[in-house]
Chain A
Amino acid sequence: MKISICCIITVFMIAALSMSVLAGDLVVIVNKDNNNAVDKALVVKIYTGATKNWPDGSPILAIDQSEESPIREEFNAGILGKTIANMKALWAQNIFTGKALPPKIANPDLEVKKIVSANKNAIGYIKASSVDDTVKVVVK
């Protein structure tokens, strides 16, 4: 009986550990020359269309990854606190009413990094393992 309980606890601990590794495997990146203060709350506002400009007034170029990409689901759930379906409905409403344009889609991490490193106003998200010195990590 004790062995069974130990096994269950171990399985749960491994699962929890792997979940936390997954959650920490994603980072939000901006251009190296972007000096705006960026936190999770601002990222949420950018990706829900509530904010269109950086605090310094320059227009934001948000980059999303495709719906099929596992990192998009992780970003939506972990950073935005929404499902892909929730986000799709929110952006559909913005588009159909002409209120805002959705983020540009780019895949994979290499392309996101390329756009962000080339555009001072861009923001995107990639796997932590894809980060290099061409971009700046603002939210982990």
Chain B
Amino acid sequence: MHTIYKRILVTVSAVLLTIGICGIAIAVELGDRVEVHGYGHQGYLQATGNKYLDADSSGTFNFTAVALVFTAKLTDKSNAWAQVHYTAQDGTIINWSVDYQFTNELKAIAGQLKQPLGFYNEIHDAKFLHFSTIAPLLYHDAAEMAFEAFRGVSAVYDQDFGASSLSVDGYFGGPVAMEEDADMSTTNKNLLGGRITYNTPVEGLKFMVAGYTVQVEQTDNSTMVEEKGHHNMTMISAGYAVNNLDLKAEYVRDKILENKRESYYIQAGYTIADKFLPFVRYDYITTDRTMKDDPSFYQKEIVIGSSYKLTNNIALRVENHFNRGYALPVASGEVDEGKGKKNWNMIATSVSFIF
């Protein structure tokens, strides 16, 4: 990262954190129609055995995100939204949208939108809203199962049935590029997807089904062999959050060209005294189902950790990831295939805030 960016990042983080700590952590209203919100986190990661997410046995602070979110009410039926988002890994991304509410049920949105997928994709870097510092494996950049965002259009249909409700998202556009692989040039276009969310009559119980298809063109940079095809993905999610208990489970199966992959996790957390949220998660991914017994292509982890809310705006987190297999360190290019350690740990701790 350039030094100047680091300085800007540190300054912005310090200011936002100070705002949060001082309890001024409320949105800034600019006139009647514009509000400014934000979030961020600073993490410290340390890994034993395999290098991943820039972390090795000496640890890294290179796990940072800061975002400002602007919302504006254009008319009674239309809003504008923009997010200026900086992460240590991806640099600056600006997502934006303009929506129009046709009826109470139907809304159309256009812009550079976050991909609606599962529980966490749209709030990937708003760690304050997560159980853990490090998200479930399927959401990692190296997994390449979800896009950060896409440029295009979306329609949202919400139907209220009284005690239950249904929400349907449909979208089309061009994906915003994910992290580039040094060995492979990949172009994704014509992303078509959707998500159905059903909030059941049972309080706190919801189910989601999501999926997408996108055209893929891959060129191996060493052999210059080109492949064309599709990346198809389906995902089912279930969540139950009532009182202090929060349970989540998600399952994903996808196919990029001829490569079939799979991931799932189950997670449970319980809030104690409105402050502590201890949680446990079992997580699994295979980056090639034909090689799922090879530790270079699977990763199983048990995560145990807790968050502590200092205020309603600031949270501290600490967790340990007990890993077997190193599929994502291989996928990220930080460990060579067949050269990693099968059993390894990663400790993650962070401070996160919202306002």
CB within 8 A of A50: which of B69, B73, B160, B354?
Answer: B160
A52-B104 contact, Cβ under 8 Å, with A85-B274, A96-B69, A98-B71: yes
Find out whether the CB atom of B69 lies under 8 angstroms from the CB atom of A95: yes
Contact residues of A between 80 and 118, Cβ < 8 Å to B: 83-85, 88-89, 92-93, 95-98, 101-102, 105
Shortest CB-to-CB span from A85 to chain B, Å, is 5
Find out whether the CB atom of A97 lies under 8 angstroms from the CB atom of B37: no
Shortest CB-to-CB span from A139 to chain B, Å, is 17
Shortest CB-to-CB span from A72 to chain B, Å, is 12
Q: A98-B83, A98-B113, A105-B26 are in contact. List 7 more A-B contacts (CB 8 A).
A: A41-B162, A88-B313, A92-B37, A93-B126, A95-B35, A95-B69, A98-B99
**On chain A, which size bracket covers the interface?**
20 to 34
Contact residues of B between 17 and 70, Cβ < 8 Å to A: 26-27, 35, 37, 39, 67, 69
Find out whether the CB atom of B274 lies under 8 angstroms from the CB atom of A83: yes
Find out whether the CB atom of B103 lies under 8 angstroms from the CB atom of A89: no
Q: Contacts of A97 on B, CB cut-off 8 Å?
A: 114, 122-123
Q: Contacts of A52 on B, CB cut-off 8 Å?
A: 101, 104
Interface string of B158-196 (1 = CB under 8 A from A): 101010010000000000000000000000000000000
Shortest CB-to-CB span from A132 to chain B, Å, is 25
Find out whether the CB atom of A51 lies under 8 angstroms from the CB atom of B114: no
Question: How many A-B contacts at CB < 8 Å in the complex?
Answer: 71
14 A–B contacts, CB within 8 A, in A order: A51-B160, A59-B101, A88-B312, A89-B129, A93-B123, A95-B35, A96-B83, A96-B122, A98-B71, A98-B97, A101-B35, A101-B73, A102-B27, A105-B26
Q: Is A53 an interface residue (CB 8 A)?
A: yes
Number of residues of chain B lying within 8 A (CB) of chain A: 36
Q: Is B6 an interface residue (CB 8 A)?
A: no
Contact residues of B between 100 and 133, Cβ < 8 Å to A: 101, 103-104, 109, 113-114, 122-123, 126, 128-129
Q: Is A40 an interface residue (CB 8 A)?
A: no
By secondary structure, the A interface counts as: mixed
Interface string of A26-55 (1 = CB under 8 A from B): 000000000000000100010000111100
Q: A4 CA to B26 CA in the complex, in Å?
A: 48
Q: Is B345 an interface residue (CB 8 A)?
A: no
Shortest CB-to-CB span from B308 to chain A, Å, is 12
Stretch in B74-82, B138-146, B232-240, B260-268 with 4+ CB within 8 Å of A: B74-82
Q: Contacts of B81 on A, CB cut-off 8 Å?
A: 98
In the complex, residue of chain B having the shortest beta-carbon distance to the beta carbon of A84: B312
Find out whether the CB atom of A92 lies under 8 angstroms from the CB atom of B274: no
Q: A51 CA to B69 CA in the complex, in Å?
A: 22
Shortest CB-to-CB span from B170 to chain A, Å, is 15
Q: Contacts of A102 on B, CB cut-off 8 Å?
A: 27, 35
Shortest CB-to-CB span from B20 to chain A, Å, is 12
